[in-house]
Amino acid sequence: MEEIPTIINSFLAYKETIQNCSPLTVKEYYTDLRTFFRYIIAKRSGKDLSNLESVDISGVDEELAGSVTTDEIYAFLLYLAQDKRNKAPARARKLSAIKAFYKYHTLKSKKLADNPAKDIDSPAVKRALPKYLSLDESIKLLESVDKNSETYERDYCIITLFLNCGMRLSELVGINLSDISEDMTKLVVTGKGSKMRTIYLNKACRDALEAYLKVRAKKAMANGRTIIDKNALFLSGRNRRISNKTVQWLIKKQLELSGLAGKGYSVHKLRHTAATLMYNSGNVDVRVLKDILGHEQLNTTQIYTHVSDKKLEEAMEANPLAKIKK
């Protein structure tokens, strides 16, 4: 990150080392701040805003960052909406990066005196209802895994954990053998912000995990091969920790084989599926669901309380006046 201006680099370092943000999150902060300061420089110098990629931000320092006004930030948000056609979530993310940058340098590093982003409201983001597989579709997806495949046990276990535990892609890929309890009743995953939580495994998960572990080493070391990432639970064909892209490809393939392609389903939709099935079928309290999913805020989890037409119907029928006839 040598080419990054010091004032931005120190903020990124704080996010990574003190707040334990993931490398991907830190990269997103940098990308958004780079776009913002490219806009400020181009706008002030009268350059063409359609070619921001060519703008050099190496000269961004305390003086320039400190001279940014609230009106300029509003103008940047308008530019994102009208010129770049950024939707509200994308604009909200970029504003969040700007807010975090100025908050750090006014309250922590003390390099800047004023925070021009402090009182700017974030663009309102409409929460769409999560898309999820029905129970029958979930079963079809599990049954679509080819039992004659060399990777059957691995692939079946991956889908089972997604559908039963509601873990994130990064959490599943990051599971180590040492994260699993000896009796295989629970495992520890590392979620957003490097926060660890315990996931309790039901019988379907334990059975799938046990079946995979029985053949994991044997298949990996066939023909004299060695396991590179020895502690990784899920291995790729090259005996390294399986990658995000490989898991995404795997789920896409199985959705096609199960006849569920073209419905907007993805790896993350399997997380939605687990949460929805638990809430709708298992009578799981939303506060318990919050802990299972690793959400920080309850309102993030509460979206799952609005996806079941059946529960709405049951609530209406539960009204004591429902049985009164004319």
Instruction: Indicate which residues carry an active-site annotation.
Output: 168, 192, 268, 271, 295, 304
β-bridge mates for residue 232, sequence order: 176
Amino acid found at 29:
Y
DSSP state of 296: S
Counts of helices then strands in the chain (DSSP H, E) = 14, 2
Distance CA 225, CA 223 (A): 6
**Reduced to 3 states, what is the DSSP secondary structure of residue 235?**
strand
Taking Cα atoms as reference points, which of 321, 307, 308 lies closest to residue 129? 307
Taking Cα atoms as reference points, which of 133, 131, 102 lies closest to residue 115? 102
Distance CA 300, CA 284 (A): 16
Tokens, residue 314 = 């049951």
Taking Cα atoms as reference points, which of 216, 111, 103, 207 lies closest to residue 154? 216
Distance CA 43, CA 40 (A): 5
Instruction: List Cβ neighbours of 110 (8 Å cut-off, separation of 6 or more).
Output: none
Instruction: List Cβ neighbours of 39 (8 Å cut-off, separation of 6 or more).
Output: 49, 52, 76, 79
Neighbours of 302 (CB within 10 A): 15
